[in-house]
Amino acid sequence: MNAILNYLKELFGGIKTLLTGMKVTGYYFVHPKEIITQQYPENRKTLKMFDRFKGEVTMPHDENNQHKCTACGICEINCPNGSIEVISKQVEKADGKTKKELDVYIYKLSMCTFCGICIKVCPQDAITFSQGFEHAVFNKEKLIKTLNKPGSSLKEKVKEVKEVIE
């Protein structure tokens, strides 16, 4: 007799716990507005990422196609993965002096881990993170990017590099 009672007790107790759980799911079944789901590919036009979101490294250019990079190479030294390569060239100025200037700023997105050290150490704030996150491409070579635009030049009155890395 006891065994049957115990069996029934367990049976109904079990059903009760299942119903307790179903109460929660049932609540959301009749309250669909409390469910938060982003319809991602459809909401692409309205989707706004946070300002600090680490999408990919970019080099902002102003309206005169000028950037702030002095080709000091601090970002290249500090990058843990070797995803930045700064190639500089010697340019002869009007007064006869030669000066180092940025030639190509190569950024390998495929090797970047988005640690943010390059942006933190940049003494000129020449590079920032952009908010784009759709990095998928069909070809590996497309992930090697040149950040400075063709024909761009150094912005004038850039303060001199103070911190020198060994």
> 62 or 80, CB closer to other proteins?
80
Least distance in angstroms from the C-beta of 51 to other proteins: 8
Name the minimum Å distance from CB 68 to other proteins.
19
When the beta carbons of 51 and 141 are compared against other proteins, the nearer one is 51
Closest distance of CB 98 from other proteins, Å: 27
Could you list the residues that contact other proteins (CB under 8 A)?
13-14, 17-18, 20-21, 23-25, 35-36, 49-50, 52-54, 78, 80, 113-117, 120-121, 129, 163, 165-166
Cβ proximity to other proteins: between 14 and 132 the closer is 14
In DSSP notation, the chain reads -HHHHHHHHHHHHHHHHHHHHHHHHHHHHH-GGG-----TTTTTTT----TT---EEE----TTSEE------HHHHH-SS--EEEEEEEEE-TTS-EEEEEEEEEEEGGG-----HHHHH-TT---EEE-------S-GGGGEEE-SPTT-EEPSSPPPP-----
CB nearer to other proteins: give 34 or 92. 34
